[in-house]
Amino acid sequence: MTITCINDLQRLAKRRVPKMFYDYADSGSWTESTYRANEADFAAIGLRQRVMVDMDNRTLRTKMLGEEVAMPVAIAPTGLTGMQHADGEMLAARAASDFGIPFTLSTMSICSIEDVASVSSRPFWFQLYVMRDKDYIGRLIDRAKAAECSALVLTADLQIIGQRHKDLINGLSVPPRPTVATVLDLATKWRWCAGMLKTKRHTFGNIAGHVKDAGNLSSLSKWTASQFDPSLSWDDIKWIKDRWGGKLIIKGIMEPEDAELAVQAGADAVIVSNHGGRQLDGAASSISALPDILAAVGDRTEVHMDGGIRSGQDVLKAVAMGAQGVYLGRAFLYGLGAMGEKGVTKSLEIIHKELDTTLALCGLRDIHDVDTRILRPGTYPLASSQSGAEAARESRRRVPHDPLGTTS
């Protein structure tokens, strides 16, 4: 099969990954309207083609949180990555490290912090879910420090879990329960089964052996129901930041008020994110929420985003609107499920190639020169405080450094 885009990897992953784990990655909550909006709102943004400009010697290199990256992209924290493919977190981390972008490990990973640290160099970031057991959380933070993670990503939007109908229908569990439906499905996924037989990593690596009576967890829902802390508040950030002592990213910001509170709490970056449409169905798409967050705090902290990134063009659109970095979730998971580590590398190559080609066709050579001038006016969302007249003037303005040699 010739792989030309992320959708090709998605189709292959669907054939090779057990249904309950493919659906876990490829689903949203309730009606999945926010999940669909994440992609649709990116697709609605138009680009401006430029010609007869110097497109030679292009570069996508930049920095995220002060660390050099090959492109303004990081791997998002995704739970159960090691159920898309055996040792999935380790394979994805190694691919990201070789490519020169950050890998972010989820608290709810199959491979442990220590597993991933053994195969990945920096940037290696760790994503933290805050549980009721604060002693465990403190030790988890300490483990991330010992693994030399250079940033802690605190997820703020999963105090309670959204209702994900596909997970309920499939009876999602880790490891999978041997029901008739599961056994019949696994019988058609021989590559996946062969990989799982070769690894010892079949449950939550950051939890098993580190929490009393947590070594034999049979389902994600059981753990989340008992341990995710619904009382988590901004007052908790201080002890987390003090215990961590390093750079802190707060993920799950969708409103300017929360962005302000995140900056006040000491966030070095915020991620505009609706959890991939997996939490509050009916929430805005991430790309449509980005302008208001940038208007509120963009001059005081880095603003990143995730949700709906399926191509290099999507990356460029987000950067043009002001994001200093974006995160790949499903895009890399499809590659992992399709072809393991090679699939993750392939997904990154696709994103990089599409980003580079689109940058050139928009008439630019350096990712740092990208702004809204490359977007077709009227197709991209604006900050709610920006009137139509102001928006028109903004899109036509001449900036001091204009590599295009013209105004929009």
Could you give the residue numbers annotated as active site?
Answer: 275
Sequential DSSP letters for 224-249 = HHHHB-TT--GGGHHHHHHHH-SEEE
Helices 286-297, 33-43: inter-axial angle, 10-degree rounding: 80
Burial class (CB in 10 A: 0-12, 13-18, 19+), 266: middle
> What distances in angstroms separate CA 298 from CA 29, 294, 301, one per listed residue?
29, 4, 6
Between CA 277 and CA 274 the distance in angstroms is 5
Q: For residue 388, which phi and psi values (nearest 5 degrees)?
A: -60, -45
Cα Dmax for the chain? 66
For 407, the enclosing helix (H) or strand (E) is none
What three-state secondary structure class fits 125?
strand
Which pair of structure tokens corresponds to residue 315? 């990356």
Sequential DSSP letters for 344-358 = HHHHHHHHHHHHHHH
CB 88 within 8 A of CB 196: no
> What distances in angstroms separate CA 338 from CA 190, 231, 385, one per listed residue?
13, 39, 44
Beta-strand pair 269-272/302-306:
parallel
* Residue 71: closest CA among 289, 270, 375, 357: 357
CB 140 within 8 A of CB 107: yes
- 290 φ/ψ sector (left φ>0, alpha ψ -120 to 50, else beta): alpha
Between CA 408 and CA 398 the distance in angstroms is 8
Look at the block and give the residue holding tokens 């449409």. Answer: 277
Cβ neighbours around 23 below 10 Å, total? 18
